[in-house]
Amino acid sequence: MKLSAFYREWAMELGFLVMVIGIMFLFFTSLSLFFLSQTPQLLLDVVRPLHETYWDMWLFFIGIMMLIIGVLMFFDKVLKLLEFKQLLHSDSRATFLKNRDRIEYLAWKLTKRQEDEYEEKLDSWRIKD
C-alpha cells in the first residue's frame, strides 16, 4: 500500500492520535514547567527527569505543534466528510449534477468507501461518465 493511500484511508485516525499525543506532551511538560512543586508523587517520577534534563521546554513546543497539526488533520477530514454526505444525499438530480465535480473531488480525497458511495449514487441516478 502506498503512503498516500494509507494517509487517505487513515487520516482522521492519525489526526486524532497526533492530537492525543500532543495533549499528553502538553500535560506532562506543563506539570514540569509550571507546577513542579504541586505535582503529585505518582507523576513526579515522570515529570522530574524532564525538568532536570531541560527537555520539558522542547517537548512543550513539540506538544503545541502536534496538537495544532492533529486538530487540523482531524477536522479537515471531518468537514470534508460532512460536506460529501450533504452533497451526495441531495434530493434533486439537477443539484447533484451541479455539484458533481465537488462530490467527485471529495470522494477522491476521502476513503475508498466514499468513492463506492459516489459510484452507487451515479448508478441510482443513471448517470454515465
Q: What pLDDT, on a 0 to 100 scale, did the predictor assign at position 45?
A: 87
Contact 104, 118 (CB under 8 A): yes
Helix axis angle, 112-124 to 55-88, nearest 10°: 10
CA pair distance 15, 79, nearest whole angstrom: 13
Q: Is residue 129 part of a domain?
A: no
Q: What pLDDT, on a 0 to 100 scale, did the predictor assign at position 100?
A: 94
Q: How many domains does the chain have?
A: 1
Q: Is residue 110 part of a domain?
A: yes
CA pair distance 37, 109, nearest whole angstrom: 48
Distances (CA, A) of 59 to 32, 44, 45, 48, 54: 11, 17, 17, 14, 9
Q: Is residue 18 part of a domain?
A: yes
Q: What pLDDT, on a 0 to 100 scale, did the predictor assign at position 77?
A: 96
- Residues counted in the chain: 129
Below-70 pLDDT ranges, the chain: 1, 129
User: Using one digit for the tens of pLDDT, what is the confidence trace for 57-90?
Assistant: 999 999 999 999 999 999 999 999 999 999 999 8
Q: Is residue 48 part of a domain?
A: yes
Q: What pLDDT, on a 0 to 100 scale, did the predictor assign at position 17?
A: 98
This prediction's pTM: 0.84
CA pair distance 73, 18, nearest whole angstrom: 9
Q: What pLDDT, on a 0 to 100 scale, did the predictor assign at position 40?
A: 87
Contact 28, 51 (CB under 8 A): no
Where in the sequence is the domain holding 66, given as residue range(s)? 3-124
Q: Is residue 51 part of a domain?
A: yes
